[in-house]
Amino acid sequence: MTKEQKILISGVKPTGRPHIGNYFGAMKRFVDLQDDYRAMIFIADYHALTTERDAKKLRQESLDIAIDYLAIGLDPKKTIIFKQSDVQEVTELAWIFNCLTTMPFLSRAHAYKDALAKNKEVNVGVFDYPILMAADILIQDADVVPVGQDQKQHVEIARDTAEKFNLAYGETFKLPEPLIDENVATIPGIDGKKMSKSYGNTISLFASDEEIEKQVMGIVTDSKGVGEPKEMEKDTLFAYHRLFSMEQLPELENRYRDGGIGYKESKEILIKNMKDFITPLREKRKKIAENTEPVIEILKQGGQTAKHSAFLKIAQVKRATGLL
Ligand code: ADP
Ligand code: TRP
């Protein structure tokens, strides 16, 4: 099979604004890969329901993610962009997978264990989250799933689920591969921990100039003086230079290694480069947001295409299981 015919799928939950970790870990890669695959990118609104109870907010944030996708360069002529809930067949497939999946197996999932450890209320949706995700992936016969490191286990659960089904009912599903770029697998937040909406340590992908300044100035560093050599690997600022200061990187590396740059100057350089990068994205987004009708139409079209392939697959599953 040529690379062109391979199927790529991924999604992002519409909960909160995307940050540069989401962008470099996942979203940018959707754009980079859209020429090489049959690309399908969706808004994971069913998954968002595990935490979101405000209908107005969910509706708005779903549309916002669609606008974000277009602003960063996803091209609806190349990528099928759709809302997960327009493909109801995924919930049907998730139920069928539920009947094959054991509780102890899902109890090992990181997201569930984290929620338990934090004493969060765990609804059944949270527990079953990886199975709905497996359905998203397998119903489209996806070959590859570009995600950040934190989603690797979920793609492995999808693979295991495909194997389990194939063993029980005969060869039906392809085994998908996670596509993780090791260079950007985990982008740190401004406090040095993994950048995540739930840790409040993010830099928004569409941040205003003021937000960029405030957030970069808030990055935690050690207390080494200007003249002292600095450790690039341990410095969050430097992790961002690798993403935003490509041209100056060799010079910055030398100055970090030999001493001769203070964190204040390093932050100022970063602020300038981030602004140069984010401003055109923010402006493009603003323009798209002025008229959302074409965006809604893109989602509608994408939903129909995704539903068509899902419908064919679920029919195959129903025949295999005896439901049809
Ligand atoms: P968050 O942790 O902020 O809620 P999501 O779970 O919505 O982010 O993740 C959306 C996508 O972005 C996933 O593919 C995830 O792997 C990726 N991602 C999230 N945070 C990071 C990060 N800090 N570094 C790299 N990729 C990330
Ligand atoms: N769980 C993913 C996240 O939190 C979103 C998601 C849902 C997804 N279904 C998917 C990603 C299928 C890739 C493929 O970011």
Per-residue pLDDT tens over the stretch 35-80? 999 999 999 999 999 999 999 999 999 999 999 999 999 999 999 9
Best mutation site among 9, 15, 19, 22 for ligand 1 pocket (most ligand atoms within 8 Å of CB): 22
What average pLDDT does the structure give for the chain?
Answer: 96
Across the strands, what pairs with 40?
9, 80
Percent of the chain with pLDDT over 90: 94
The CATH label, of 3.40.50.620, 3.30.1490.20, 3.40.605.10, 3.90.1150.110, for the domain at 7-185+291-321 is 3.40.50.620
Q: In angstroms, how far apart are the furthest CA atoms of the chain?
A: 74
pTM higher than the cut 0.85: yes
Reported as a single tens digit per residue, the pLDDT across 98-118 is: 999 999 999 999 989 999 999
Reported as a single tens digit per residue, the pLDDT across 212-228 is: 999 999 999 999 999 99
Distances (CA, A) of 184 to 108, 194, 246, 307: 25, 11, 14, 32
14: Cβ below 6 Å to ligand 1?
A: no
Which atom of ligand 1 is closest in space to residue 149's alpha carbon? 16
260 Cα to the center of ligand 1, angstroms: 34
49 Cα to the center of ligand 1, angstroms: 17
Alpha helix segments (H runs only) across the chain: 20-22, 28-33, 45-48, 55-72, 89-98, 103-107, 110-117, 124-138, 152-169, 209-217, 236-244, 249-258, 263-289, 293-321
Task: Supply the pLDDT for residue 204.
Answer: 96
Domain 206-286 class in CATH: mainly alpha
Lining ligand 2 with CB less than 6 A are 9-13, 44, 47, 133, 136-137, 145, 147, 151, 154
Which ligand sits closest to the CA of 41?
Answer: 2
167 Cα to the center of ligand 1, angstroms: 32
For residue 185, name the pLDDT band (cuts at 50, 70, 90).
Answer: confident
Mean pLDDT for the stretch of residues 249-259: 95
Q: Indicate if the alpha-carbon torsion angle 134, 109, 184, 48 is positive or negative.
A: positive
Task: Supply the pLDDT for residue 1.
Answer: 44
Q: Is the pLDDT of residue 236 over 60?
A: yes
* Residue 40, φ and ψ in degrees, nearest 5: -130, 120
Short-list 210, 321, 186, CA closest to 274 = 210
Q: Is the pLDDT of residue 3 over 70?
A: no
Q: Which of 77-91, 128-142, 216-230, 296-310 has the lowest mean pLDDT?
A: 216-230
| Domain parsing of the chain, residue ranges | 7-185+291-321, 206-286
Instruction: Count Cβ atoms below 10 Å from residue 142 Cβ, excluding itself.
Output: 23
Best mutation site among 151, 153, 186, 197 for ligand 2 pocket (most ligand atoms within 8 Å of CB): 151
303: Cβ below 6 Å to ligand 1?
A: no
Which ligand sits closest to the CA of 182?
Answer: 1
Short-list 223, 225, 226, 250, CA closest to 238 = 250
Task: Supply the pLDDT for residue 196.
Answer: 93
For residue 184, name the pLDDT band (cuts at 50, 70, 90).
Answer: confident
Across the strands, what pairs with 188?
194
Task: Supply the pLDDT for residue 4.
Answer: 52
Task: Supply the pLDDT for residue 151.
Answer: 95
